[in-house]
Amino acid sequence: MEPSPAVRFVVHIQVHDIERFKATVARCVEISRTEPGTIHYDWFLNEATGGARLVEAYESVDAVLAHARGPVFTEVGPEMLQTCEFISMDAFGDTGKLGEGAQFWPSTYWGTPFAELAG
């Protein structure tokens, strides 16, 4: 068995604009799958209920930080947040200092909750 990725996330989302959400997700996937340190980055959407999941894995906390400082958060993220609400996030593995405070949770905006990621 191969070792588990250092950091994994499952993000739970409620979508209210399916078509725009799917378009922004496609852009996120295109960007994320080529980022150094990204091991796994897949979205799942139940169009009937609007429930969605993002399942992602990174080699290290540094790779998570690079992702959070990159175009998924800075370019695509604000548009995505007009299409959905981030409900909760499960984090697995070594999240380092990211997991130490109440700031590490998804939100409906890129603001205080993501401050530690954005640096």
CATH code assigned at 13? 3.30.70.100
Residue 96 lies in a domain: yes
Residue 90, domain extent = 7-118
Domain total for the chain?
1
Residue-level pLDDT at 58:
93
> What is the rounded distance in angstroms from the CA atom of residue 35 to the CA atom of residue 30?
9
Of residues 99 and 101, the one with the higher pLDDT is 99
The yes-or-no verdict on residue 37 having pLDDT over 90 is yes
Q: Cα 56 from chain centroid? A: 7
Binned at pLDDT 50, 70 and 90, residue 89 comes out as confident
Two tokens, residue 31: 């960007």
Measured between alpha carbons, how far is 79 from 102 in angstroms, rounded to an integer?
25
Establish if 2 belongs to a structural domain.
no
Q: What number is the average pLDDT over the span 42-55?
A: 96
Mean pLDDT of the chain: 81
Q: Flag whether 1 is in a domain.
A: no
pLDDT at 53 over 50: yes
Could you give the percent of the chain with pLDDT greater than 90?
Answer: 44
pTM assigned to the model:
0.79
Instruction: Using a pLDDT cut of 70, give the percent of the chain over it.
Output: 76
109 inside domain:
yes
Residue 92 included in any domain = yes
Confidence check: pLDDT of 76 > 50: yes
Q: Do 66 and 7 form a contact (C-beta atoms < 8 A)?
A: no
